[in-house]
């Protein structure tokens, strides 16, 4: 029988999405995620044992015990399977839970997680270890010191997960970290490279992405939860990308857009150049089939140098989205692509043909502003849009 009944916030309806905060924090950490995701999911943000308003209880104060607490909570709430989003120690709890109870995890989102303490950069880990030793020294005389020693001990002594263990996790997983994270980049990539069904996102910001840069963090999570895994393209993907181009052209023709992407365009070498530059991406559905592609490229875009009947929102550096294509029976691909691009690029420009109603509606739905008309190198006109985050 459990000795623990956690404090939690619950909002929304739909598939359950459980949010697990980091060390020393509480469910308020996700103040920017709860209202965003509860529009589509049953969002539950927990206070971990001994954190926030949740009681300490008598059981061990360990990552493994926190994972068992989550198991008991899901049983108590009648949740057979859930999306798990864990930040920092919450990511370690989510990973520990998934390793023991993979059948209970629909999808896994690991933000700033680590497999073992040395995954943390020394300049962050050393002060934690010093604080732990001091708190432990006074823990027998002070209840506050004992509490601090337990809390800091989680980061000093845990977790201990072998990279090889991750190979057994087949659920779709998003590994997300900040460019200036306290977790070593090499360690984040070790987690990514050890998982079989995984997407990696390194975003602008530090360890506290969800709280400090919620727009980009939420956009990346929304893209992932849409059902697609997005990764950089390789040359092995080129035949599939060209097939997707041809299918996208057929889709345009089917709803009357006979003007965009004439036969032979975009050329094969344009897609090859995108791959070589690192700006080409493919997206796979949950079966692993590639169903979409796009390019996200840094400025400048030569055809954007002049704009007519309007103006760009600014003259700052930007990224441009080009060559979006998908299979005819895929749904939500455009939204997933735009969510992804908005997560990694704070200033985006894009153009499309006036007859491309699907694209225009998608850009409007995502808040892109119409800026004017640009001319392609062959003189054709395109409607130009921009979004700043």
Q: What is the pLDDT of residues 143-183, one digit of tens each?
A: 999 999 999 999 999 999 999 999 999 999 999 999 999 99
CA-to-CA dists, residue 83 to 39, 47, 69, 96, 129, angstroms:
15, 17, 16, 14, 32
Tokens encoding 213: 């840069």
The reported pLDDT for the residue numbered 1 is 56
Tokens encoding 164: 């090889």
pLDDT: which is higher, 86 or 262: 86
- Using one digit for the tens of pLDDT, what is the confidence trace for 191-232? 999 999 999 999 999 999 999 999 999 999 999 999 999 999
Give 171-207 as a DSSP string: S-EEEEEETT-SB-HHHHHHHHHH-SSEEEEEESS-S
Confidence of residue 35 (pLDDT cuts 50, 70, 90): very high
Are the C-beta atoms of residues 356 and 256 closer than 8 Å to each other?
Answer: no
Closest CA to 30 of 12, 15, 40, 45: 45
- Using one digit for the tens of pLDDT, what is the confidence trace for 332-347? 999 999 999 999 999 9
Closest CA to 110 of 125, 124, 122, 97: 97
Mean pLDDT of the chain: 96
3-state secondary structure of 5: coil
Distance between CA atoms of 290 and 5, rounded to whole angstroms?
43
- Alpha-carbon torsion angle 156, 157, 162, 163, nearest 10: -20
Distance between CA atoms of 341 and 389, rounded to whole angstroms?
11
- pTM of the predicted protein model: 0.89
As a whole number, mean pLDDT of residues 38-65 equals 97
- Cβ neighbors of 358 (< 8 A, separation 6 or more) are 255, 334
Task: Quote the percentage of the chain above a pLDDT of 70.
Answer: 99
As a whole number, mean pLDDT of residues 37-60 equals 96
Distance between CA atoms of 277 and 131, rounded to whole angstroms?
45
Distance between CA atoms of 34 and 221, rounded to whole angstroms?
12
The reported pLDDT for the residue numbered 350 is 98
Confidence of residue 72 (pLDDT cuts 50, 70, 90): very high
Q: Which residues pair with 350 in a beta bridge?
A: 385
Distance between CA atoms of 63 and 160, rounded to whole angstroms?
10
- Alpha-carbon torsion angle 344, 347, 352, 358, nearest 10: 60
Domain segments of the chain as ranges: 8-116+159-225, 232-388
The answer to whether residue 245 scores a pLDDT higher than 80 is yes
The answer to whether residue 3 scores a pLDDT higher than 80 is no
Distance between CA atoms of 107 and 128, rounded to whole angstroms?
31
The answer to whether residue 2 scores a pLDDT higher than 80 is no
Are the C-beta atoms of residues 336 and 228 closer than 8 Å to each other?
Answer: yes
Give 100-144 as a DSSP string: H-GGGEEEEEEES--SSGGGB-HHHHHHHHHHHHHHHHHTTT-HH
Question: In the CATH hierarchy, which top-level class contains the domain 232-388?
Answer: alpha beta
The reported pLDDT for the residue numbered 286 is 86
The two beta strands, 42-46 and 16-20, are parallel
8-116+159-225 — its CATH code? 3.40.50.1820
As a whole number, mean pLDDT of residues 67-86 equals 98
């Amino acid at each position: 029988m459990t000795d623990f009944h956690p404090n939690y916030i619950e909002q929304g309806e739909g598939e359950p999405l459980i949010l697990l905060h980091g060390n020393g924090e509480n469910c308020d950490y996700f103040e920017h995620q709860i209202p965003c995701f509860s529009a589509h999911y049953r969002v539950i943000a927990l206070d971990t044992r001994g954190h926030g308003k949740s009681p300490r209880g008598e059981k061990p104060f360990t990552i493994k015990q926190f994972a068992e607490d989550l198991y008991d909570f899901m049983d108590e709430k009648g949740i057979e399977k859930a999306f798990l989003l864990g930040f920092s120690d919450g990511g370690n709890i989510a990973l520990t839970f998934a390793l023991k109870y993979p059948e209970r995890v629909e999808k896994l989102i690991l933000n700033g997680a680590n497999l073992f303490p040395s995954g943390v950069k020394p300049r962050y880990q050393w002060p934690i270890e010093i604080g732990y030793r001091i708190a432990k020294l006074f823990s027998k005389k002070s209840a506050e010191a004992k509490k601090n020693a337990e809390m800091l001990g989680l980061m000093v002594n845990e977790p201990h997960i072998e990279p090889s263990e991750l190979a057994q996790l087949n659920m779709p997983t998003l590994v997300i970290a900040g460019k200036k994270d306290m977790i070593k980049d090499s360690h984040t990539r070790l987690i990514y490279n050890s998982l079989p069904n995984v997407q990696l996102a390194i975003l602008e910001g530090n360890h506290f992405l969800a709280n400090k840069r919620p727009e980009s963090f939420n956009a990346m999570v929304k893209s992932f939860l849409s059902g697609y895994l997005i990764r950089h393209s390789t040359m092995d993907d080129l035949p599939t990308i060209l097939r997707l181009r041809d299918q996208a052209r057929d889709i345009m023709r089917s709803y009357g857009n006979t003007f965009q992407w004439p036969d032979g365009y975009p050329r094969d070498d344009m897609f090859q150049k995108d791959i070589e530059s690192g700006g080409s991406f493919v997206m796979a559905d949950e079966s692993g089939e590639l169903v979409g592609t796009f390019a996200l490229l840094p400025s400048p875009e030569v055809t954007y140098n002049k704009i007519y009947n309007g103006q760009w929102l600014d003259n700052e550096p930007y990224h441009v989205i080009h060559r979006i294509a998908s299979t005819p029976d895929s749904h939500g691909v455009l939204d997933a692509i735009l969510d992804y691009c908005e997560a990694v690029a704070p200033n985006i420009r894009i153009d499309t043909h006036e007859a491309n109603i699907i694209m225009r509606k998608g850009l409007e739905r995502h808040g892109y502003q119409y800026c004017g008309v640009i001319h392609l190198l062959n003189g054709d006109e395109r409607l130009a849009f921009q979004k700043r985050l």
